[in-house]
Amino acid sequence: MINGHTQLVGLLGWPVEHSLSPAMHNAAFDALGLNWRYVPLPVPPGSVETAVRGLVALGFRGVNVTVPHKRAVMPALDSLDRTAQVLGAVNTLLVERQADGSSIVAGCNTDALGFVGALRAGGFEPGGGQNCLVVGAGGAARAVAFGLLRSSSGRIAVLNRTLEHAQALVADLGRADPAYPARLSALPLAQAPLLESAQAAGLLVNTTTLGMWPHVDASIWPEDVPVPAHLSVYDLVYNPLETRLLRQARASGANAIDGLGMLVGQGAVAFEMWTGQGPVAKVTALMRAACERVMEGQAR
């Protein structure tokens, strides 16, 4: 029931109507008996700073931030956590009330942590020191590579169609810590480097849009070449949940992990920041079940 005590959070983006976040957060609030609601907040480009001031005025406890505002929102914030600074992108805001009645707005990024949690839940332990391949060099690849740099000790190769984008990612993340440059490399996304690097890696992550609806027959992995069975394969694409890449991985006996875990994982970390309610694993399970219900409904 919404009443005078209801606490508000939401999603600030443009567009927001297809997001799974309202369903997953509201399901977790209901299951945990919290008088909180998560609402979609469509904010056109150019209005994001006004929207942040509005959140404070309306007493919101925080929001998630999605495209196209992840970078544009930064000048409106009072602080940024380390991950948001390194990635140059914010996906969660926390409105913190001060003793004098004023509020400050903190910007965070929960994508890297959400990804690493999803990897572990999927059976790959990044702390094992194995090498990792990240295919793609967009915004999601930055979060994935940073999550791997922080949680593992292995080398990370970033393969991308446009080599310059992979080189820029490697250079940017390399500046975050003196130990990182020696662990990072950039390669073109072509069959020879992909197959060669995969032999020496424990994890392959697809962060490109290949395989995403409606191009469901596309895959970063070549046809007629078995995926090495020792690999764990993580596909960030979650529409569809079972991508062609994951089917190729399973057919070869590799460990295949779907993209819903990262979506839910970043949400569960934000949920815990706003509400103080954990443990994240319990929230994650509730959220995943809610997303699956929505996705099943959409598929009918």
Q: Using CB positions, name the residue nearest to ligand NAP.
A: 138
Q: How far is the CB of 139 from ligand NAP (least distance, A)?
A: 4
Give the pair of three-digit tokens for residue 59. Answer: 């007493």
Q: How far is the CB of 227 from ligand NAP (least distance, A)?
A: 18
Instruction: Check residue 29 and report its DSSP letter.
Output: H
| Catalytic residue annotation | 70
Q: Measured between alpha carbons, how far is 16 from 75 in angstroms, rounded to an integer?
A: 22
List 27, 194, 262, 286, residue binding ligand NAP (CB under 6 A): 262
List 79, 162, 191, 199, residue binding ligand NAP (CB under 6 A): 162
Question: Is position 236 an interface residue for ligand NAP (rule: CB under 6 A)?
Answer: yes
Between the alpha carbon of residue 209 and those of residues 24, 89, 140, 220, the distances in Å are 23, 19, 10, 10
Angle between helical axes of 280-299 and 111-121 (0-180°, round to 10): 90
Counting Cβ atoms within 10 Å, is residue 122 exposed (0-12), middle (13-18) or buried (19+)? middle
List 259, 268, 271, 290, residue binding ligand NAP (CB under 6 A): 259
List alpha helices for 175-259, DSSP H: 191-199, 244-251
Q: How far is the CB of 165 from ligand NAP (least distance, A)?
A: 4
Q: Measured between alpha carbons, how far is 297 from 9 in angstroms, rounded to an integer?
A: 25
Residue 111 neighbours by CB under 8 Å, 6+ apart? 83, 87, 89, 91, 140, 143, 147, 262, 266
Give the pair of three-digit tokens for residue 160. Answer: 């991308």
Question: Is position 63 an interface residue for ligand NAP (rule: CB under 6 A)?
Answer: no
Print the binding letters for residues 202-221 with ligand NAP: x by CB under 6 A, - otherwise.
Answer: -----xxxx-x---------
Question: Is position 252 an interface residue for ligand NAP (rule: CB under 6 A)?
Answer: no
Question: Is position 138 an interface residue for ligand NAP (rule: CB under 6 A)?
Answer: yes
Amino acid identity of residue 54, one-letter, is G
Q: Select the span of 51-59, 124-132, 138-146, 241-249 touching ligand NAP (CB under 6 A).
A: 138-146
List 161, 230, 247, 282, residue binding ligand NAP (CB under 6 A): 161
Give the pair of three-digit tokens for residue 134. Answer: 């990240």
Q: How far is the CB of 48 from ligand NAP (least distance, A)?
A: 18
Q: Measured between alpha carbons, how far is 58 from 194 in angstroms, rounded to an integer?
A: 50
Number of residues engaging ligand NAP in binding (CB under 6 A): 22
Between 38 and 238, name the residue whose CB sits nearer to ligand NAP. Answer: 238
Residues that bind ligand NAP in the complex, under the rule CB under 6 A: 136-141, 160-162, 165, 189, 207-210, 212, 236-238, 259, 262-263
